[in-house]
Structure 1
């Protein structure tokens, strides 16, 4: 059975809605808890699918969190070898770094539920399932488009919200895996950050998750299933 290795940085930023299509495509899912144990480099490089999840630390903070450098090294080798790789938020930023792109603070934090604007390439591929659907955003950094990558989505604050490298690599700055089902854990885990951003409200974020989460989760599942099908992994 093919295996999917997910690198998780905090418990509440998990595979979410993506777990079901990954399992349906025949992958056995394994979780690596970043920072708690060394990343097995060869294992991570040879996994049939690698998913690097989100987290509240900066992609370029390897001086503070040395394990990030190990993840970037794995990503660099996997992407060069054309092995299936998926990045979400922090994971997407680490993929961008591995491909030689810049990751830097955005003009402001982008937190809440809102749709992205798809590029022509985005509308033609798996992201078509996300067209017009409010999805979860939760980031303060953003990345430049890596050399050789194709931009798929944007928002006014973040011109590169998703990119693809060939068919084997897909990166999302936003959170298409978030379906609102466990959103209370996000509100608890990010309580300090929420309190520090003017205009953000826990009740408002909770209500947005209730309103938009189910449709976002279904769109995310369809998007990932389409990408896995492009890899030859159909349910």
Structure 2
């Protein structure tokens, strides 16, 4: 149940095949406002937003395809305005570029696909978004969460002001925070069906192996994705409450 006082989370979609997927059922306490930036829709001024979530896509974070430049600018403005912001995969790459980082198109060591181990750094332990996934009782080298992944471009330099939160075996920058914004290179929102659809688009991906990994780890993946979605929604709700006059 929502009403006029419910905080609004603006969700920017850049690709027809990359939606909120399972996050749609886990973003508690907010009203989702979809914006198709790839179709020319505008999110409006960043400082008017309660929260912002930017989804993934097949294009590059530095391309001139519809909606890309506008979304980079929106992300830069959202960070400057202190808007709670989350970028997923391409959204994370756009956030990095928008705030001074760098993305390598078709980066070595190649496409990272399937279900990967996201290894949490000590900085993640008390982070308000990802901290709920980090078990303080485990040694650092065992603080790992399984997450879906499907990307060939990669963040190779974080913004100077960023806090580095996680890495994987293949790529260093799986999660980071810059100001009020978080970037996640992985896909906590992706269901097995969605991951299958993405895998089938690429000749360099073993779709059967991706399907098997998604099925094997789905309970853990779904649980972790739910934690992240609810944590982010809670951050949006808390900021909206702080902005509301008493």
Give yes or no for TM over 0.5.
yes
Is the partner of 2:190 in helix, strand or coil? Answer: coil
Once the two structures are TM-superposed, the CA of residue 17 in structure 1 deviates from its matched residue by: 3.1
User: Aligned partners of 1:45, 1:36: CA distance in 2, in Å?
Assistant: 22
Q: Which runs of 5+ in 1 are unaligned?
A: none
Q: Give the alignment of 1:118-197 within 5 angstroms.
A: 118-125=120-127, 126-128=129-131, 129=133, 131-143=143-155, 144-166=157-179, 168-180=180-192, 182-183=193-194, 186-193=195-202, 195=203, 197=204
What's the counterpart of residue 67 of structure 2? 67
C-alpha offsets along residues 205-233 of structure 1, whole Å, 9 cap, x if unaligned?
11111111232111111133234445554
User: Aligned partners of 1:127, 1:191: CA distance in 2, in Å?
Assistant: 30
Is the partner of 2:39 in helix, strand or coil? Answer: coil
C-alpha offsets along residues 93-129 of structure 1, whole Å, 9 cap, x if unaligned?
1111110111113201111111111110113323241
Counterpart pick for 1:34 among 33, 37, 40: 37
C-alpha offsets along residues 188-214 of structure 1, whole Å, 9 cap, x if unaligned?
355241x2x1xx322221111111123
Once the two structures are TM-superposed, the CA of residue 87 in structure 1 deviates from its matched residue by: 0.2
Counterpart pick for 1:16 among 21, 41, 60: 21
Where has structure 1 moved over 4 Å in runs of 4 or more?
none
TM-score scaled by length of structure 2: 0.82
TM-score scaled by length of structure 1: 0.85
Q: Which runs of 5+ in 2 are unaligned?
A: 1-5, 135-142, 240-246
| Cα distance change of structure 1 residues 216 and 228 upon mapping to structure 2, 3 Å threshold | same
Does residue 208 in structure 1 map to residue 213 in structure 2? yes
Once the two structures are TM-superposed, the CA of residue 138 in structure 1 deviates from its matched residue by: 0.8
Once the two structures are TM-superposed, the CA of residue 27 in structure 1 deviates from its matched residue by: 1.1
